[in-house]
A = this chain, B = another copy of it.
Amino acid sequence: MLDLQSEDAPLTLCPNGKASSECAHCKVRALSLCSALEPDELEAMDKLARHVSFDRHQTLFSQGEDAESVYNITAGSVRLFKLLPDGRRQIVGFALPGDFLGLSLSERNAFSAETLSATSACQFPRAAFSDLLDAKPHLLRRLHDMAGHELSLAQDQMVILGRRTAEEKVASFLVGLRKRWARIDGSTVRAPLPMSRLDIGDYLGLTVETVSRMMTKLAREKAIVITPDGVRLLDPARLEALAET
């Protein structure tokens, strides 16, 4: 997942189908693929794009299917996961506003994507988008840099999954998520949690119960406050110490 964002648009970037004016209001332009593009690149992307909306718990695409589209998330939140034949699930990431789905441009989806909340996105046909990349090297370079960032995050997640305790996992998750929200809505201590405890567990390689226990523990120790919609970080220093690389 990579971020894009804006407040109110100096120039239209994020394309959409019905009204290209929507780009002008795109909340997530500055940090997205759309940022820092040349006018001709924006123009070309605009032509390809279709703005789509999803309710809570809808499927964008499924693991193993032909990858028809790539997406730029403009609002909401999405869980990306892989299933084992016996039902075990690993969430490989959460997509937030500004994130791009389909960086690897593979023919088949390597994972499934389901919305966690009502979600909006710019949808592009994969094949046409791939062709566009070949025509616009600067756009490709931007995408590649995003892929590099994504790869780096994936390696960080390997450390968390392979070598951290349950408490450290939860602390890392909260700190990392708050940083991502900070880029999106500027919040400094709030971290909304659109995903369930079960989702968090499947992201961190833990059970629901362990996630709940660690959250309770961190709250008891006054490192966080649990709110209806997520958490508030009371003692970022303590959390960062638990999460530190």
A residues with a Cβ closer than 8 A to B are 82, 84-85, 88-90, 92, 103-106, 110-111, 133-134, 137, 140-141, 143-145, 147-152, 154-159, 161-164, 202-205, 244-245
When distances are taken between beta carbons in the complex, the residues of chain B under 8 Å from A202 are 162-163
Q: Determine whether the beta carbon of A92 is less than 8 Å from that of B150.
A: no
Once the chains bind, are B148 and A82 in contact (CB under 8 Å)?
Answer: no
Which of A134, A148, A149, A152 gathers most chain B CB within 10 Å?
A148
The 5 sampled A-B contact pairs (Cβ below 8 Å) are A82-B158, A104-B147, A140-B144, A161-B162, A163-B205
Kindly state the separation between the CA atoms of A204 and B158 in the bound complex, as whole angstroms: 9
Question: Which 7 residue pairs of A and B lie closest in terms of their CB atoms, listed nearest first?
Answer: A104-B148, A162-B205, A137-B137, A154-B154, A161-B161, A90-B159, A92-B155
Contact A85 B245 (CB under 8 A): yes
- CB proximity of A6 to chain B, nearest CB, Å: 25
**Which residues of chain B are near A156, meaning CB under 8 Å?**
82
A28 CB, nearest partner CB in chain B, Å = 22
Given known contacts A82-B245, A137-B134, A90 and B150 CB-to-CB distance under 8 angstroms: no
Whether B141 contacts A134 by the Cβ 8 Å rule is yes
* Chain B hits for A145, CB < 8 A: 105
Minimum CB–CB distance from A169 to chain B (whole Å) comes to: 10
A149 to B149 CA separation, bound complex (whole angstroms)? 14
